[in-house]
Amino acid sequence: MQHQARCRRFDPMPHAAGSPEITQSGTAFMTRTVYLNGQWLPEDQAKVSIFDRGYVFADAIYEVTAVIGGKLLDYPGHTARLKRSLEAIGISMPVSEDELLDLHHTIVEKNGLDQGLVYLQISRGAEDRNFLFSDNLTPTLSMFTQVVPLLANPKAETGLAVISMPDGRWANRQIKTVQLLYSSLAKMEAKNRGADDVIFVEDGLITEASSANFHIITKSGVLVTRQLSNALLHGITRSSVLSLALTAQLKVEERAFSVEEAQDAAEAFITSAGAFVMPVVSIDGTSIGDGKPGKTTLRIREIYIEDQLSRAMAR
Ligand code: PLP
């Protein structure tokens, strides 16, 4: 789509069926009135902060309600699920049930929607990026409509062709996506339980930390780190640290290991762009080694920082 075609002017006049305009590409479209945090706005004037947690952490929930003849279908089911979703991730409902229903009717009326969908999204709100969120955030509530021929859908005549795929929701952790809701909630849980971070375990084996790679140094001095796969993010810091470890003649093994093996290790640490090399001193209350940052870990941290500073890129 041409950029011009997406820069729509708003028709301030209420209209029964939206105002068709012709874009440079010749496509007619309707200018919608959308809802954002208590305001009715032309769709191109509704702006959400880039710090909104829905945008940065996928920390949001949504509902979609069908509309036929201007009436809401299955509305009680959708609001009930909306409440369940909000409760599950600890976001409070920003409006009352009556207000929510009124918003649905109003958005249908304002857009003269006969057949289509009402989309509603509630995010936890905006604040500076941090996996740990504040408890006083104001949720972001946005709504828009879409005209869809639900009844006269031609696909109902022809049927759908589908393909099968492994259910990979979400088995692709090697991709650095913003789908970080689980990690954020996990980090909050760690905080609530008096810990600093979480290591994730799958099939009894550690994958990585909530926002870092996890490594151990065995009692015989071997640096063990999980091999790369779609089970973990391929950390850039991890890669640099492994190169430095090999240069420093440290033995490195890339394999999976359990929580028990990690608890029994001499040392443990995480790596990430934000933490560099950070010692881990206990897992689930069990001390690793003497419960203090390991000497080898701290040496690797020094070497890493020294190496990075010697190679850091200036303009
Ligand atoms: N694993 C996860 C899940 C992460 O989110 C991160 C960093 O954000 C890392 C590992 C470490 O990657 P890097 O060293 O590239 O920062």
Residues 99, 105, 110, 116, CA torsion sign: positive
pLDDT value at position 25?
41
Write the secondary structure of the chain as one string of H (helix), E (strand) and C (coil).
CCHHHHCCCCCCCCCCCCCEEECCCCCEEECCEEEECCEEEEHHHCCCCCCEHHHHHCCEEEEEEEEECCEECCHHHHHHHHHHHHHHHCCCCCCCHHHHHHHHHHHHHHCCCCEEEEEEEEECCECCCCCCCCCCCCCEEEEEEEECCCCCCCHHHHCCCCCCCCCCCCCCCCCCCCCCHHHHHHHHHHHHCCCCCCEEEECCEEEEECCEEEEEECCCCEEEECCCCCCCCCCHHHHHHHHHHHHCCCEEEECCCEHHHHHCCCEEEEEECCCEEEEECEECCEECCCCCCCHHHHHHHHHHHHHHHHHCCCC
CB of 262 closer than 6 angstroms to any ligand 1 atom: no
Cα of 143 from ligand 1 centre, angstroms: 33
pLDDT value at position 22?
41
Cα of 305 from ligand 1 centre, angstroms: 17
* pLDDT one-digit tens code per residue, 102-147: 999 999 999 999 999 999 999 999 999 999 999 999 999 999 999 9
Low-confidence ranges of the chain (pLDDT < 50): 1-28
pLDDT value at position 29?
55
CB of 211 closer than 6 angstroms to any ligand 1 atom: yes
* Number of the ligand 1 atom closest to the C-alpha atom of 183: 3
110 is known as an active-site residue: no
CB of 235 closer than 6 angstroms to any ligand 1 atom: yes
CB of 140 closer than 6 angstroms to any ligand 1 atom: no
pLDDT value at position 156?
87
Cα of 235 from ligand 1 centre, angstroms: 5
Cα of 186 from ligand 1 centre, angstroms: 15
Q: Which of 176, 219, 292, 295 is catalytic?
A: 176
